[in-house]
Structure 1
Amino acid sequence: MSIFKEPILDVAQLAHLEILSPKPEESVEFFTRFLGMNVTAKSGQSVYLKAYEDTYHNTLKITESKEAGLGHAAWRTISPQALERRVESVKATGLGRGWIDGDIGHGPAYQFTTPDGHPMELLFDVEYYKSKEGEQTKLLNRSTKRPERGVPVRRLDHINLMASNTSKNMKFMADALGFRVREQIVDNGTTIASWMSVSNLVHEIAFMPEPNQIPGKLHHLCYWYGIPQNLYDIADLLKDNDVFIEVPPNKHGISQAFCMYVYEPGGNRVELFGDAGYLILDPTWETVTWEMKDVPGNGDTWIGTAFPDSWWNQGTPVTVPEVAKSK
């Protein structure tokens, strides 16, 4: 009989993301006009937004910056006690940065980085969104009614990060925070990409290799629709408005999710999920391992077009050796 390792269940979910944009007004317009998200607050150089089924005050913060990229990813714990336990665990790795008093939409948060330098924070206290006049819905289990513009996304789903050393970052997320490796790609015995979660989802975070071993990059953030037809609807809308679509509606083999990839005006890649693939309900789920040689045409795209070189090689901030996206 194999020895079962007791899981760490202290981290509950991805609470919100901050992205950096050199064109903040255009970035906000993209998420509101086309993806139907609502602006919930503005402060300084930042704008806060939520999707209509997000329950928290905000799940996306867009901050003006010289370059596109990741501002930070925030993880909510299951309790104040769980927060303290994970903070102590992160401190022991030497990657902790310290506490902040909070931000719009949440209370005190502990800031840290991955081994690759991706900024992150842990928190527990959150503010729930209270619908304003005209936003109320008759659905008591939804925070606001469905927006009447664009093709509205429903909730934040996950983040994908590029890393100079995937295995090192994967091990940190597993050992310090309790993430479980759901699927992975190996090449010559080394893990080069991984999909990890703390819930029943296939992933709330993924790591893939940065081809030039440049650390700390964002590959994409993802919002969820739940219905594959919505991908064709949003693709139609975006193409008619000259928004660059890197990968048209498609289906991944890894995760089995219906997906598409576009670029918001600030330069960050955004994935849109037509559904989130399969759910993992098995408590002793064994990591699904793909050999790199089997991934093209099977793992990346199961049904749909081949992924371009830019998808494999480009993240934000953009650096000289990367493959430039072509329009």
Structure 2
Amino acid sequence: MTPPLGDIAHIGHVELLTPDVDGSVRFFTEILGLTENGRSGDSVYLRTFDDYEHHSLVLTASGKPGVRRTSLRASSEEALRRRVAATQEAGLDGRWAEDEPGIGPMYLTTDRDGHELALYYETEWYQAPPELKPGLKNQPQAKPRQGVGVRRLDHVNFLAEDVAANADHVQHVLGARPTEQIQLNDGSIGAKWLTFNNKSYDLVYTSDWTGSNGRLHHIAFATDTREDILRAADLCLDNDVFIETGPHKHAIQQTFFLYVYEPGGNRIELCNPLTRLVLAPDWPLVTWTEAERAKGQAWGLKTIASFHTHGTPPVE
């Protein structure tokens, strides 16, 4: 039985691993416009201006890039307990921890591919210091004066050995619903997009061509406008940040996009999906064929080869 939509409210934050912490911090603060909100050991905590929690992103020093943890906030204590029970019933191991500032008890578990997922409810609402106080009381923080000024952490795209198994887990154990997918000629699912709310997607699973487990394709930050993404492209050009592809528009989900590699090696997407919501409670799963995807993106840009090969951590 599918759990009720809404037990997981939204993606809370992501922890990225980076071999170049200083470079990664400069990228996320000076180029994207996030604000540093504390350090602990090898980790730096950053936040977008429109996030209400302590942090949106954690950067942790590591020998290789990749994703360590993706944290999902439940909609209530009862919802958290339901999803923890469902996770245990599904046969996946887990443990309780309280190891992040501003966040209460977290249930640490994994998806079928080994990506660490943290489920939590208790959270500290951000209180801006005087120098970051916003002009409007319904905004957590003043808009940044530097960089793009991304609004929020939007979604995470995981690489997975078995897309269908992982998507089914997120759907039936955590309560997401699938909105779009790619079905290959052999009948297998090459990628699947899922949402926990009325956004068109929060988590994506994409087939990992290496057959590896637990790797990252990209994380994405939402901007206010398409023009912000064009500005981001110029900022990346001026600051020697590698642009992989875009700006352009996806056919799937219709997202205006730019993909770059941050200094640690992780792929980052800047996207503008703010105008597209899935409001229909009976939204039909949209399936794209291999032939349809071969046509490229919405306006004809062909999908760059590295989009199918680059992931973190890298595989030799």
TM-score bucket (shorter structure): over 0.9
Match of 2:310 in 1: 314
Q: What is the identity, as a one-letter code, of the residue corresponding to 1:250?
A: H
Distance in 2 (alpha carbons) for counterparts of 1:192 and 1:281? 25
Among 240, 243, 246, the residue aligned to 1:242:
240
Among 65, 74, 78, the residue aligned to 1:77:
74
Distance in 2 (alpha carbons) for counterparts of 1:197 and 1:8? 9
SS in 1 for 2:130: coil
Among 184, 187, 191, the residue aligned to 2:181:
184
RMSD: 1.4
Match of 1:282 in 2: 280
SS in 2 for 1:71: strand
Distance in 1 (alpha carbons) for counterparts of 2:63 and 2:3? 44
Q: What is the identity, as a one-letter code, of the residue corresponding to 2:214?
A: G
Quote the offset at 1:78 in angstroms. Answer: 0.6
Quote the offset at 1:296 in angstroms. Answer: 2.6
Retained in 2: the 8 A contact 1:186–1:289? yes
Distance in 2 (alpha carbons) for counterparts of 1:6 and 1:165? 22
Match of 1:216 in 2: 214
Retained in 2: the 8 A contact 1:229–1:274? no
Question: How many equivalent residue pairs?
Answer: 315
Quote the offset at 1:71 in angstroms. Answer: 1.1
Distance in 2 (alpha carbons) for counterparts of 1:126 and 1:143? 14
Q: What is the identity, as a one-letter code, of the residue corresponding to 2:124?
A: E
Match of 2:94 in 1: 97
Q: What is the identity, as a one-letter code, of the residue corresponding to 1:306?
A: K
Quote the offset at 1:152 in angstroms. Answer: 1.0
Retained in 2: the 8 A contact 1:48–1:60? yes
Among 105, 109, 116, the residue aligned to 1:108:
105
Question: Where does structure 1 lack aligned partners over 5 or more consecutive residues?
Answer: 321-327
Give the TM-score of the pair, scaled to structure 2.
Answer: 0.97
Match of 1:25 in 2: 22
Quote the offset at 1:304 in angstroms. Answer: 5.7
Match of 1:135 in 2: 132
Distance in 2 (alpha carbons) for counterparts of 1:177 and 1:254? 23
Quote the offset at 1:208 in angstroms. Answer: 0.4
Retained in 2: the 8 A contact 1:38–1:49? yes
Quote the offset at 1:15 in angstroms. Answer: 0.5
Distance in 1 (alpha carbons) for counterparts of 2:273 and 2:137? 23
Q: Taking every aligned residue pair, what percent have the same amino acid on both sides? A: 36
Match of 1:324 in 2: none
